[in-house]
Amino acid sequence: MWEALITAFPTLSLLAWSPPGWGANLMRGLANSIQIALGAYAVGLIIGTAGAFGKLHGGPVTRDLLAVYTTVVRAVPELVLILILYFAVTDLVNQAMVAFGYARIQISGVAAGIAVLGVVQGAYATEVIRGAILAVPAGQLEAARAMGMPPMRTAWRITLPLMLSNAIPGLANLWLIATKDTALLAIVGFAELTLQTRQAASSTKAFLTFFLAAGALYLLITLVSTLIFAIIERWARRGQRPST
């Protein structure tokens, strides 16, 4: 079966694991992409949680600054933000280091990628989490307060679990965006899946084979993630009446 496929489409053998196949390269790229997506997602969640609380409970200055942050990030293309952050941030960090008499530090591609995509993710996560917190029925919180629950325990026992089930669809969407946005790092020369695919394709001239293979890999990530998030959502909604 496999042999027959290879004879029909000889370029398929280029996907083999060991050289002359490029399979290992693609997998390395995939691993890089997933690593960055995970990192960026984590950074985004941290910024998003802090941002949501800032927007809801912060002072007027905090709120306005956060509004500027989320507006700008959501209005400017990720590609442009990546270029600005990638060059400007590393430049500023290094200028500061040199000014304080230290040597320049090397910011690795992975760290820069995580930071850049994390800042982008953070803006969207702020809105998702803020919306989810607002959607927690006020009656529940009042009931908790009436029963004399301290604020921290209310947050932990009432707000968080109720908010989670509201936030999960939005957060799932953000994760899918994170995995796909890693492709943009190809433009700054970071060896993630899309760039690895590109290099393999232009070295072998088997464009369709490699692009389709990479597409299948991305699709696989999407489908598996969707499945996992569906399970998480079911868990988060346990005890809730099914909506009609």
Partner 1 sequence: MTNFWHPHRIVMAAIAIAIILACALLLRWDWLPKYLPLIGQGIWRTLWLLAVTATLGFLIAIPLGLAQAAGPWYLAAPARIFCTVIRGTPLLLQLWLLYYGLGSLFPQFPAIRESDLWPYLRQAWPYAVVALTLSFAGYEGEVMRGAFKGVPGGQLEAARAMGMPRTTILRRIWLPLAIQRALPTLGGETVLQLKATPLVATITVVDIYAVASRVRQDTFIVYEPLLLLAVVYMVITGLIVLAFRWLENRIPSRVA
Partner 2 sequence: MKKLTLTLAALALGTAAYAEPVKVGIASEPYPPFAAPDAAGNWTGWEVDMINAVCAAAEMDCVITPVAWDGIIPSLTSGQVDAIMASMSITADRMQTIDFSNKYYNTPTVIIAAKGAGIAPNAEGLAGKILGVQVSTIHQDYAQTHFSGAQIKLYQTQDEANQDLVAGRIDATQADSIALDAFLKSDAGACCEMMGAVPDDQAILGQGVGVGLRKGDTALAEKFNAGIAKVIADGTYDTISAPYFDSSIYGG
Contact set with partner 1 (CB under 8 A): 60-61, 64-65, 72, 74-81, 83-84, 87-88, 91, 176, 180-184, 186-187, 194, 197-198, 201-202, 205, 207-208, 211-212, 214-215, 218-219, 221-223
Work out how close the CB of 159 gets to partner 2 at its nearest, in angstroms, rounded to a whole number. 34
Residue with tokens 């956060």: 66
Work out how close the CB of 116 gets to partner 1 at its nearest, in angstroms, rounded to a whole number. 13
The option from partner 2, partner 1, none interacting with 111 (CB < 5 to 8 A, set by class) reads partner 2
CA-to-CA distance for 122 and 47, rounded, in angstroms? 5
Select 124 or 162, whichever has its Cβ closest to partner 1: 124
Helix axes 60-75, 109-134, angle to 10 degrees: 120
Taking Cα atoms as reference points, which of 199, 139, 184, 135 lies closest to residue 163?
135
The option from partner 1, partner 2, none interacting with 46 (CB < 5 to 8 A, set by class) reads none
CA-to-CA distance for 105 and 97, rounded, in angstroms? 8
Q: Which residues of 191-205 are buried (b: 16+ CB within 10 A; e: fewer)?
A: bbbbbbbbbbbeeee
SS3 61: helix
- Total residues at interface with partner 2 (CB under 8 A): 34
CB 192 within 8 A of CB 37: no
How would you class 207 by CB atoms within 10 Å of its CB: exposed for 0-12, middle for 13-18, buried for 19 or more? middle
Kindly tell me which residue out of 38, 50, 107, 183 binds partner 2, with binding defined by CB under 8 A.
Answer: 107
CB 41 within 8 A of CB 121: yes
Kindly tell me which residue out of 171, 195, 206, 214 binds partner 2, with binding defined by CB under 8 A.
Answer: 195
Helix axes 160-181, 23-57, angle to 10 degrees: 140
Q: Which stretch binds partner 2 (CB under 8 A): 22-30, 60-68, 208-216, 223-231?
A: 22-30
Select 50 or 107, whichever has its Cβ closest to partner 2: 107
Taking Cα atoms as reference points, which of 40, 125, 143 lies closest to residue 82?
40
Kindly tell me which residue out of 205, 215, 220, 234 binds partner 2, with binding defined by CB under 8 A.
Answer: 205
The option from partner 1, partner 2, none interacting with 105 (CB < 5 to 8 A, set by class) reads partner 2
Strands (E), the chain: none
CB 233 within 8 A of CB 132: no
Residue 90 binds partner 2, judged by CB under 8 A: yes
Kindly tell me which residue out of 6, 34, 42, 83 binds partner 2, with binding defined by CB under 8 A.
Answer: 83
- Interacting residues with partner 2 (CB under 8 A): 19-22, 24-25, 28, 83, 86-87, 90-91, 94, 97, 102-108, 110-111, 187-191, 195, 199-200, 202-203, 205
